[in-house]
Structure 1
Amino acid sequence: MEITAGGLLEVRITPADVGKRVSVRRVEAGLSGSPEFTDTIGVLTSWDQGVLLITKKDGRSVRIAQSSLVAGKVVPAAPARRRGPAASFEELSRVAARSWQPLESERLGGWTLRAAAGFTRRANSVLPEGEPGIPLDDALARVTSWYARRDLPAYVQAATGAAGTQELLCAELERRGWVSEASAEVRIGALAPVGDVDAPASGSVRLTRVPDEDWLGRYGRVDDPEVARRVLVEGPSVWFASLEGGRAVGRCVVDGRWAGFAAVAVDPAHRRQGLATAVMAALARRALEEGASAAWLQVETDNADALSLYDRLGFAAHHAYHHYRAPR
């Protein structure tokens, strides 16, 4: 809230501040008829026809009538919450892309169009690492056509909580009717504490370079095993962990100082027995042997059990990403 020397609230933002992080206060009539104040902090992603669109760190967009503003100012970027390694959005984005490689890709300026016969959104979506080099509407038309030729829905992966240009893209996609179908947090942490966890079943975890039928069956998101294997085995140094009979599985990609965990799944009949922890600990120890020191993972925001596990293992949220689907 901005207060002038005279003690009055003041709106100190304009449409020229689009793309910046702002803090605003608006007033609305409450249920009792008395005025109620609401504060919002996020990136000012648009200001059109008397309406402000502010994208918050969790990816949600808030529309605010200009006429309701009573205070507003530009604020410094929020520091990323981290425990363990420092990392930039650009570094993590590159590492994550190398861990889920598509079967085919095509460049469109600073965008990469990725396809893998529909196996995982991460390998079947546009990765925007810069500007597409053509007007956005033209780029989205090219994207939609490219995926349609492959009988795939068109997705664009965009992030919030890390980079203003990405948040602007989220707002522009929403404005054009693209719908966020899935959101996930990217979390980071120190690798050694994960490897040091004493899990009862850790001694029986088997590590392989290729996922077998039990592993794929427990992962459970596979329509075409051959396509899945081709995507899953690609990466700088990929390891698959499994407990007997596929009771629990996991995947780890070692890439320089980073170990990326994914596809951690446990048989529902054996949950809450520390099996996911055992799988991650075994993978972490192998990654440490290969010289990694930092860990990252992606977890969907509605997966309460996984979020709780990763909290206990010391992973902290770095940023979020969202898969936007083209209008049907």
Structure 2
Amino acid sequence: MEISAAGRLEVRITAADVGKRVSVRSMIEHGLPGEKFTDTVGVLTSWDNGVLLITRRSGESVRIAESALVAAKAVPSAPARRRGPAASYEELARVAARAWLPVESERLGAWELRAASGFTRRANSVLPLGAPGLPLDEALEAVRRWYGERGLPAYVQTATGAKGTQELLCAELEQRGWVREVTAELWTGPLAPIADRGDPAGVALSREAGEGWLARYQRKGVSEVALRVLRGGPSVWFATVPGAAEGAPPAAIGRCVVDGRWAGFAAVEVDPALRRQGLGTAVMAALARQALDEGASAAWLQVEADNAGARALYTGMGFAAHHAYHHYRAPDAHGTGTGTGTGTGR
């Protein structure tokens, strides 16, 4: 907190600091005995009618009455990261987008409108890396028309928690009634240690998602459009551990997209009866070795915030959260969207 030369806590932010990352201490109106104050760190996304709105790294919005402020100051735009390869939000957003290529896309200024018959929110949402070239309300109306023409709900994918992410856009969408349906995180880590962790013997790699691989994949009845999305990307590999019995679904599968220095992991799935035997680690090790052979050095994946098992596994592999990402649905759209994989986001 900001302390003056006289030793007093001071509020050193104003409404002119909207868009900056801040640290705020405020009084608790109804706290436990002995609790008087709470601290909030995040991006100041609005300050209107005596109320501050602060968006935390997770995307959670916190409302604080101006009258409750005890101390506040602007802080660096993002905390120093201690783990994982250095990368900007924009670089990772573009790499992740290339790993789930839509079958149709269109530009709206610096926004990319993406569609793939509803297969994954990632391939059926707007990626807003910059300004749309129109006032926001007009841009959102154009987005809703574009998806409506394709019989799809309108989604906008945003991110929070890193330098250059879109806390202000999140707040604008929420003010307009857009609903945040899914929050996940993008994690990064060094690639080489993954290749050394598991025994890749018995893991088969292929350029195609064959019948066996699809039999283990979480999503059943995959369409031709879905296959195009799964196969899309700079260099895509599918890993399969055969089942114990002939004709049985694979014991484990995984997907990796190699893109320059990055290897993106997804759809790592293991037969529930065979979990905790290292099969998921073996799949990732085999895919990591292939990615290393192609010149990659860093890894990324997407994991949902409430998937404790996946988070523990990936932490042990050296991954750490880089930023959170969210999918906002237009208020008049009733589709629920779809996701892919277990433990690797949506």
TM range (shorter): over 0.9
* Separation (CA, whole Å) in 2 of partners of 1:222 and 1:228: 11
| Contact 1:185 1:299 survives alignment (8 Å) | yes
2:275 paired residue number? 271
Which amino acid in structure 1 is aligned with residue 251 of structure 2?
R
* Separation (CA, whole Å) in 2 of partners of 1:109 and 1:223: 36
Which amino acid in structure 1 is aligned with residue 274 of structure 2?
H
1:232 paired residue number? 230
1:249 paired residue number? 253
Seq. identity, %: 70
Which amino acid in structure 1 is aligned with residue 329 of structure 2?
R
1:308 aligns with 2:312: yes
* Separation (CA, whole Å) in 2 of partners of 1:53 and 1:9: 21
Residue range with higher mean Cα deviation, 26-35 or 11-20: 26-35
| Counterparts of residues 1-328 of structure 1 (less than 5 Å) | 1-30=1-30, 36-164=36-164, 166-199=166-199, 202-244=200-242, 245-328=249-332
Which amino acid in structure 2 is aligned with residue 106 of structure 1?
E
* Separation (CA, whole Å) in 2 of partners of 1:165 and 1:220: 30
Which amino acid in structure 1 is aligned with residue 240 of structure 2?
S
* Separation (CA, whole Å) in 2 of partners of 1:300 and 1:30: 32
- The DSSP-based 3-state class of the residue aligned with 1:123 is coil
Cα drift, residue 79 of structure 1: 2.6
C-alpha RMSD of matched pairs (Å): 1.6
* Separation (CA, whole Å) in 2 of partners of 1:259 and 1:286: 10
* Separation (CA, whole Å) in 2 of partners of 1:32 and 1:313: 39
* Separation (CA, whole Å) in 2 of partners of 1:149 and 1:211: 30
Does the C-alpha gap of structure 1 residues 28 and 198 become closer, same or farther in structure 2, counting only changes over 3 Å? closer
Which amino acid in structure 1 is aligned with residue 206 of structure 2?
T
1:228-262 C-alpha deviation (Å, 9 max, x unpaired): 11111111100000111321111001111111111
Q: TM-score, normalised by structure 2?
A: 0.90
Which amino acid in structure 2 is aligned with residue 225 of structure 1?
S
* Separation (CA, whole Å) in 2 of partners of 1:96 and 1:167: 19
* Separation (CA, whole Å) in 2 of partners of 1:24 and 1:70: 8
- The DSSP-based 3-state class of the residue aligned with 1:194 is helix
| Contact 1:222 1:228 survives alignment (8 Å) | no
Cα drift, residue 88 of structure 1: 1.1
* Separation (CA, whole Å) in 2 of partners of 1:71 and 1:15: 15
Residue range with higher mean Cα deviation, 24-33 or 217-226: 24-33
Does the C-alpha gap of structure 1 residues 198 and 14 become closer, same or farther in structure 2, counting only changes over 3 Å? same
| Contact 1:19 1:164 survives alignment (8 Å) | no
Does the C-alpha gap of structure 1 residues 35 and 240 become closer, same or farther in structure 2, counting only changes over 3 Å? closer
Cα drift, residue 8 of structure 1: 2.3
Which amino acid in structure 2 is aligned with residue 257 of structure 1?
R
Cα drift, residue 211 of structure 1: 0.2
Does the C-alpha gap of structure 1 residues 34 and 197 become closer, same or farther in structure 2, counting only changes over 3 Å? closer
| Contact 1:208 1:241 survives alignment (8 Å) | yes
* Separation (CA, whole Å) in 2 of partners of 1:31 and 1:130: 41
- The DSSP-based 3-state class of the residue aligned with 1:286 is helix
- The DSSP-based 3-state class of the residue aligned with 2:201 is helix
Residue range with higher mean Cα deviation, 218-227 or 32-41: 32-41
| Contact 2:196 2:285 survives alignment (8 Å) | yes
Cα drift, residue 5 of structure 1: 2.4
Cα drift, residue 29 of structure 1: 3.2
| Contact 1:113 1:143 survives alignment (8 Å) | yes
Residue range with higher mean Cα deviation, 98-107 or 81-90: 81-90
Gapped regions of structure 1 (runs ≥ 5)? none
Which amino acid in structure 2 is aligned with residue 36 of structure 1?
K
Does the C-alpha gap of structure 1 residues 192 and 165 become closer, same or farther in structure 2, counting only changes over 3 Å? closer
Q: TM-score, normalised by structure 1?
A: 0.95
* Structure with the largest fraction of helix: 1
- The DSSP-based 3-state class of the residue aligned with 1:252 is strand
Residue range with higher mean Cα deviation, 173-182 or 44-53: 173-182
Gapped regions of structure 2 (runs ≥ 5)? 243-248, 333-346
* Separation (CA, whole Å) in 1 of partners of 2:236 and 2:80: 28
Does the C-alpha gap of structure 1 residues 34 and 315 become closer, same or farther in structure 2, counting only changes over 3 Å? closer
* Separation (CA, whole Å) in 2 of partners of 1:287 and 1:267: 24
Cα drift, residue 3 of structure 1: 2.1
Residue range with higher mean Cα deviation, 181-190 or 31-40: 31-40
1:3-48 C-alpha deviation (Å, 9 max, x unpaired): 2223322211110000001111111334578771111111001111
| Contact 1:105 1:115 survives alignment (8 Å) | yes
Cα drift, residue 293 of structure 1: 0.9
